[in-house]
Amino acid sequence: MSSSKTTSGLICAFILTALVACGSPAAAPVPHGFVAGATEAEEPQMRLSYLSTEAGSISIIDPLSGNETDTFTLPGAESMQHDGRFLFLRTTAGAGLNVIDTGVWAVDHGDHKHFYHSTAQQLQAKAPVPAGAVASDGHWVGIFDEQTGDTSVLNRKTLETGVLTVETTLSGTPHTGLAIPYKGRMLVTGSPGKDKLPTTVAAFDLSAGQSTGTDTHGAALEGNASGSLLPTACPALRGHASTRHGVVLGCSDGILVIGEEEGSLTSTKIPYPENEPDEPATSFNHRPGSSELTALAGTTGLWHVDVATLKLTFMPSPEPIVVASTAGNGSPALAMGQSGTLYALDPLTGLVENQSALLTQMKPGPPPALVLDAGRAYLSDPASTLIHEIDYKDNLRVARTFTTTEPLAQLVETGL
């Protein structure tokens, strides 16, 4: 009898377990690359966004159709930066930062990328976020306030939920500085000279979990567990770019490249070549994802920087250049001259490969915008409401021309 009861109990338990299992099927596995609220696409979902300071608006263009899909009104908007998805906008002096999600982005998994699109929207801040120079690496956003010297740190994951809020703040000295996230750290400039330009860079560990830090770049900083001063100075530091091979900074005595080896930061100075113009790089342009960059060398030509090989080359120009960029990977550097002529220069020889008179003579004021992706360049015309789409691999052929609703002051491309 005892054996029979035990057997019956086991059978009942087995049946009950099976019924529970049938009533609660296992959750389906989440597909690789799945992002809630977004649609994944096989190809990049690029968008062109332009700022009209005259109209106080930001408009988004779908390059496939050439149509403006979204417009956001932002009175007093005067400058725009981006990180491949979000637009960071300054308005009148003293006002807080404004952020617009363009609704297109890419996620780099090293050997492949995922591309997404969703609804464009303007983010609402829980509390005013200080405006300043913005840099982002897809994980963190650094905003350096030149008036206070403070760095506001934003978590990119929080931005992706539509919430604009400051995660932590690093205090510092007022100057014309930068705060650049890189490999889980925030690179913050300091030690400004009389010209208010920084001369040093310190790294703060963003995983330290501290709510505040001290960015003095001196004795107090050395005792701060979350920050460390990098050994290589960068006199009169101006301009930066983030690449796969590190962060690039313009110095009066060369180009500083900050990288990482075996978990530790490295800093390497590329000196300006001898017997070349004494014109330091103060800003950089390049295609997102490229390790090659351009910078204006005064009115005499261009600097071409290959971050992968740590090579810096001067390329003389036929005339003073107002804006330049490069897609890298053997493609020419593009440079717009004051005459309105667009030049394609060979980065190896520095010679002009092609040229095309696309715009009229440049007048005083903001220069045209020039942005590049892997197949096209987009050039704005300050004298009109036109954007030229240029096939730079086909003798600078103008493939299409878009007409904007409002006069254009700045142009960027997101979704890459």
What percent of the chain clears pLDDT 70, i.e. is strictly above it? 86
Confidence of residue 43 (pLDDT cuts 50, 70, 90): confident
pLDDT of res. 30: 57
Our measurement of the distance from residue 121's CA atom to the centroid of its chain's CA atoms, rounded to an integer in Å, reads: 19
Confidence of residue 34 (pLDDT cuts 50, 70, 90): low
The predicted-structure confidence for 312-328, as pLDDT tens digits, reads as follows 999 999 999 999 999 99
Is the pLDDT reported for residue 19 higher than 80?
no
pLDDT of res. 192: 94
The predicted-structure confidence for 377-415, as pLDDT tens digits, reads as follows 999 998 899 999 999 999 999 999 999 999 999 999 999
pLDDT of res. 217: 44
The predicted-structure confidence for 240-261, as pLDDT tens digits, reads as follows 999 999 999 999 999 999 999 9
The predicted-structure confidence for 146-162, as pLDDT tens digits, reads as follows 999 999 999 999 999 99
Determine how many CB atoms are found less than 10 A away from the CB of residue 380: 27
- Nearest-CA neighbor of 134 among 97, 171, 172, 185? 97
- Nearest-CA neighbor of 251 among 305, 308, 290, 299? 305
Is the pLDDT reported for residue 225 higher than 90?
no
Question: Which class for 73: exposed (0-12), middle (13-18), buried (19 or more C-beta within 10 A)?
Answer: exposed
Rounded CA gap, 400 and 389, in Å? 5
- Residues 83-96 have a mean pLDDT of 88
Encoding tokens for residue 308? 């992968």
Is the pLDDT reported for residue 374 higher than 80?
yes
- Residues 324-350 have a mean pLDDT of 94
Higher-scoring residue by pLDDT: 118, 214: 118
- Residues 323-350 have a mean pLDDT of 94
pLDDT of res. 124: 87
Is the pLDDT reported for residue 178 higher than 80?
yes
pTM confidence score:
0.87
pLDDT of res. 361: 85
- Residues 11-31 have a mean pLDDT of 50
Is the pLDDT reported for residue 93 higher than 50?
yes
pLDDT of res. 211: 33
Is the pLDDT reported for residue 33 higher than 60?
no
* Mean pLDDT rounded to a whole number for the chain: 87
Range with lowest mean pLDDT among 92-106, 169-183, 275-289: 92-106
Rounded CA gap, 221 and 225, in Å? 8
- Residues 370-380 have a mean pLDDT of 95
Is the pLDDT reported for residue 80 higher than 90?
yes
- Nearest-CA neighbor of 406 among 125, 68, 46, 43? 68
- Nearest-CA neighbor of 154 among 171, 173, 172, 135? 135
CA dihedral 379, 380, 383, 386 (to 10 degrees): 100
Amino acid identity, position 70 = D
Confidence of residue 371 (pLDDT cuts 50, 70, 90): very high
Higher-scoring residue by pLDDT: 23, 290: 290
pLDDT of res. 126: 82
- Residues 36-48 have a mean pLDDT of 87
Confidence of residue 136 (pLDDT cuts 50, 70, 90): very high
